[in-house]
Structure 1
Amino acid sequence: MTTAPARSSDRRISPVFLGIAAVTAVSGWAAWTGFADNAGLAVFLFVTAAWIVSLCLHEYAHARTALHSGDISIGAKGYLTLDPLKYTHALLSIVLPVLFVIMGGIGLPGGAVFIERGRIRGRWRHSLISAAGPLTNVAFAVVCTAPFWLDALDGVPDAFRYALAFLALLQVTAAILNFLPIPGLDGYGVIEPWLSRGIRRQVEPFAPFGLLAVFAVLWIPSVNAVFFDAIDAVLGALGVEEWDTYWGRELYQFWEGSQEAPPRPAS
């Protein structure tokens, strides 16, 4: 078996990622303490930076799983450094997901690490590589909602609470959309190894348009309502109420006039 020489630089966390993590920490502190005069700005910076961190971890999970499944070329491509600038399509993995959050509050699935599938043997490994990314979003959602379902929110400032709720909403939407068995999304990548070669050939031309088709369908009001009802149901099961996500989105889009949110009503 051919192996590639391990280099520490291939796995060293990039300064770009560390910078984004630092912005997350500082803006989270500002949202918690009320240091910023504009709570919405602090929430915007915190949620955006944390969202980018989650996108980087999503791609890292794909890459790391591929490395352990046999694709030894991953390290040389820079995917293990968590540097978003190393992705094959930074536009798809970072820029578009951030724009969709800013415009509409939807966690757009990213996905732009190039994996040499020919190096990987076994259908289960291929499926696991595809599932690793959205499972990271699931884990991120669990962490964000932990204070809610653990009933550990006493003393948590409202602005930070709402920011966590909105960030959790983004992670849940990203996980659900990514797991859809539609060509071009990770959900299809999970089932693809188990399909016949003929079906895969027929579906392959539609892969570049799968994500566009999903969002076109989500523009249909009735479908959009059902989708977000499902999101609210998942978040509700995790202890996050619609009040929290609503004001999280309002604070996040502070340019529309929402700079402060009212305290949450006592239950």
Structure 2
Amino acid sequence: MGHQGSRGERRISSVFLGIAAVMAVTGWAVWTGYSTSTGLAVFLFVTSAWVVSLCLHEYAHARTALHGGDLSVGAEGYLTLNPLKYTHALLSIVLPVLFVILGGLGLPGGAVYIERDRIRGRWKHSLISAAGPLTNVAFAVVCTAPFWLGALDGVPLAFRYALAFLALLQVSAAILNFLPVPGLDGYGVIEPWLSHRIRREVAPLAPFGLIAVFALLWIPEVNAFFFDVVRDILSGLGVSDLETYCGRDLYRFWQEGNGLCEVPRD
């Protein structure tokens, strides 16, 4: 009975499969130019792919916690990849998607509750925190593979732009997540190595960490520096500013473009 229960706890949810199907179909539409609106197809493809990456981010936290000793993540439904099972669906899915739509920024989510007292060993705690943003890093590597492999021949322009913008979201999310700020995964990586006194004093700041980061990003100089870092990383992966710009331009199909990113149609 327990074995059947554990199998059910790890069965991929139909919700996630539905989102992945939307990603596949709209990705095909972008590739083939099948849609009457390239921008709408790019919007649906990038948004669904972004939600898939958010689910994988949270799954990575949960799966690593499971191997670290927290068996409760299965009962909570975290291993099903169902975004509706997260403790804060608003923080993990709705807000990150909203930030992409409004500003093209990969907002770190965060909403699987790990019972840390079940886990022994500082390295395990650090790895659980690092697993999520490392998923974003892996996603960025996959998205940019055609660029750094020099395999763009035959890749339609719209699909190339969509991948470039999706890569920007993954890189920005990974950087923000790895910041050593209370409440973010980066702090979770170093927290086990801090003294009990420091951890106790910092704990009340955790709910405000993400708010503080975004307040800082409103400062033009900080914002410019942050996106310079993102651009430098993307450039190192073979993705140009023009490609990410055009990806964002196509994504925001409801806005009037400037003609720089026109995609030829068959």
- TM-score class, shorter: over 0.9
Deviation at 1:9, TM superposition (A): 1.1
| Partner residue in 2 for 1:224 | 223
- Write the mapping of 1:39-188 to structure 2, written as runs, cut at 5 A: 39-188=38-187
> In 2, Cα distance between the equivalents of 1:237 and 1:18?
33
| Partner residue in 2 for 1:253 | 252
| Partner residue in 1 for 2:195 | 196
Deviation at 1:258, TM superposition (A): 3.5
- Write the mapping of 1:15-34 to structure 2, written as runs, cut at 5 A: 15-34=14-33
> In 2, Cα distance between the equivalents of 1:155 and 1:173?
28
**Structure 2 regions of 5+ residues with no counterpart?**
none
Where 1:182 maps in the other structure, the secondary structure is coil
| Partner residue in 2 for 1:262 | 262
TM-score, reference length from structure 2: 0.96
Q: Quick one: which amino acid aligns to residue 147 of structure 1?
A: P
Identity %: 75
Deviation at 1:7, TM superposition (A): 2.3
Once the two structures are superposed, residues 217-236 of structure 1 have per-residue CA deviations (whole angstroms, 9 ceiling, x without a partner) of 00001110111011000000
**Structure 1 regions of 5+ residues with no counterpart?**
none
Does the 8 Å CA contact 1:40/1:253 hold for their aligned counterparts?
A: yes
> In 2, Cα distance between the equivalents of 1:159 and 1:16?
27
Deviation at 1:263, TM superposition (A): 5.5
Q: Quick one: which amino acid aligns to residue 262 of structure 2?
A: P
> In 2, Cα distance between the equivalents of 1:85 and 1:246?
32
Once the two structures are superposed, residues 1-56 of structure 1 have per-residue CA deviations (whole angstroms, 9 ceiling, x without a partner) of xxx75522101100000000000001001111111111100000000000000000
Relative distance call for 1:37 and 1:259 in structure 2 (3 A) is farther
Where 2:226 maps in the other structure, the secondary structure is helix
> In 1, Cα distance between the equivalents of 2:211 and 2:163?
28
> In 1, Cα distance between the equivalents of 2:142 and 2:17?
20
Deviation at 1:259, TM superposition (A): 10
Q: Quick one: which amino acid aligns to residue 27 of structure 1?
A: T
Relative distance call for 1:23 and 1:184 in structure 2 (3 A) is same
RMSD over aligned CA atoms reads 1.3
> In 2, Cα distance between the equivalents of 1:173 and 1:229?
11
> In 1, Cα distance between the equivalents of 2:79 and 2:240?
36
> In 2, Cα distance between the equivalents of 1:202 and 1:74?
28
> In 1, Cα distance between the equivalents of 2:242 and 2:16?
32
Q: Quick one: which amino acid aligns to residue 127 of structure 2?
A: L
Relative distance call for 1:256 and 1:93 in structure 2 (3 A) is same
Q: Quick one: which amino acid aligns to residue 118 of structure 1?
A: D
Relative distance call for 1:10 and 1:259 in structure 2 (3 A) is farther
Relative distance call for 1:263 and 1:40 in structure 2 (3 A) is closer
Where 1:74 maps in the other structure, the secondary structure is helix
> In 1, Cα distance between the equivalents of 2:126 and 2:263?
44
Deviation at 1:262, TM superposition (A): 2.9
Where 2:254 maps in the other structure, the secondary structure is helix
Does the 8 Å CA contact 1:140/1:171 hold for their aligned counterparts?
A: yes
> In 2, Cα distance between the equivalents of 1:7 and 1:77?
11
Once the two structures are superposed, residues 161-180 of structure 1 have per-residue CA deviations (whole angstroms, 9 ceiling, x without a partner) of 00000000000000000000
TM-score, reference length from structure 1: 0.96
